[in-house]
A = this chain, B = another copy of it.
Amino acid sequence: MPTPATSTASAAAKRPRGRPRKTLEDRDDGNRRRELLQSAAKLFRRKGFDATSTRDIAAAAGMQSGSPFYHFKSKGALLYAVMQEGMGSAIERQQQALQRAEAETPDIAGQLRILIRSHFEVLLGPGSDFIPVMLYEARAITPRQRSALAALRSDYEAPWTPVLNALHASGQLRAEVKLARLLMFGALNWSAQWFDARKEASLDDLADAAMQLFIRDLE
């Protein structure tokens, strides 16, 4: 829950930073921009892009109504930045998960489990507003932005292809790889609509269920 804008702003006014001078660096512009991104991601996810006003976002970040436009040249640019940020960190997390797993040299099904588990984390884990926004607000961006994001998406999906091909070749994945991939991502991505972290199932439970659903001859 974000603190209401007014109290955040007044708290900041009452509690001056350690350094006395009020230079630009003191303002820590990078952090303000990051707070805007976070607030925007959370609101875009909860209410949708069109139902979120730039005033909502400003208030959530403890700013006045016009201030977001000091950091982003338009509301659309903010949305696009949220999506880029989401894809960037998703790719990063995925690569880290794959590298961590390399030490254990898992079998091919084990590699798919790593990818699926990492995908659920990006989608449902802590701070996971960016990717759902990217998935569910694609209508609101320009064609040029869409194709730039499609390139990032290809990067993200690249590690999946050899794994799925190998599983198909070994008979553990029966459906044609191209359609299987689309259906599998649907099963995973849709979880952003129903998953409730407070409820029974954990991300590991989800990954187990997905593996059992898609892959035969496990272990």
B182 in contact with A213 (CB, 8 Å): no
Contacts of A175 in B (CB 8 A): 208-210, 212-213
Report how many copies the assembly holds: 2
Residue of B nearest to A50 (CB): B50
Contacts of A174 in B (CB 8 A): 212-213, 218
Query: What are the interface flags for A172-190 relative to B under an 8 Å C-beta threshold, 1 for contact and 0 otherwise?
Result: 0111100110111111111
Interchain Cβ contacts under 8 Å between A and B, 10 examples: A48-B50, A48-B139, A49-B50, A50-B50, A175-B209, A175-B210, A179-B206, A182-B194, A213-B213, A213-B214
A140 in contact with B51 (CB, 8 Å): yes
Instruction: Among B136, B140, B184, point to the contact of A187 (Cβ < 8 A).
Output: B184
Contacts of A206 in B (CB 8 A): 179
Query: What are the interface flags for A192-219 relative to B under an 8 Å C-beta threshold, 1 for contact and 0 otherwise?
Result: 0110000001000110111011101010
**Smallest CB separation, A195 vs chain B (Å):** 9
Instruction: Among B48, B180, B209, point to the contact of A183 (Cβ < 8 A).
Output: B209
Question: CA separation between A172 and B139, bound complex, in Å?
Answer: 38
**Smallest CB separation, A74 vs chain B (Å):** 15
Question: CA separation between A189 and B216, bound complex, in Å?
Answer: 23
The CB with the most chain B CB atoms within 10 A, among A183, A185, A210, A212, is that of: A183
Cβ of A15 within 8 Å of any chain B Cβ, yes or no, is no
Instruction: Among B136, B188, B216, point to the contact of A216 (Cβ < 8 A).
Output: B216
Cβ of A47 within 8 Å of any chain B Cβ, yes or no, is yes
Question: CA separation between A140 and B212, bound complex, in Å?
Answer: 35
Residue of B nearest to A211 (CB): B175
**Smallest CB separation, A43 vs chain B (Å):** 12
Question: CA separation between A179 and B47, bound complex, in Å?
Answer: 26
- Please give me the 3 A-B residue pairs with the lowest Cβ-Cβ distance, nearest first: A186-B190, A50-B50, A179-B209
Contacts of A46 in B (CB 8 A): 139
Cβ of A65 within 8 Å of any chain B Cβ, yes or no, is no
Question: CA separation between A47 and B179, bound complex, in Å?
Answer: 26
Q: Report A30-73 residues with CB < 8 Å from chain B CB.
A: 46-51
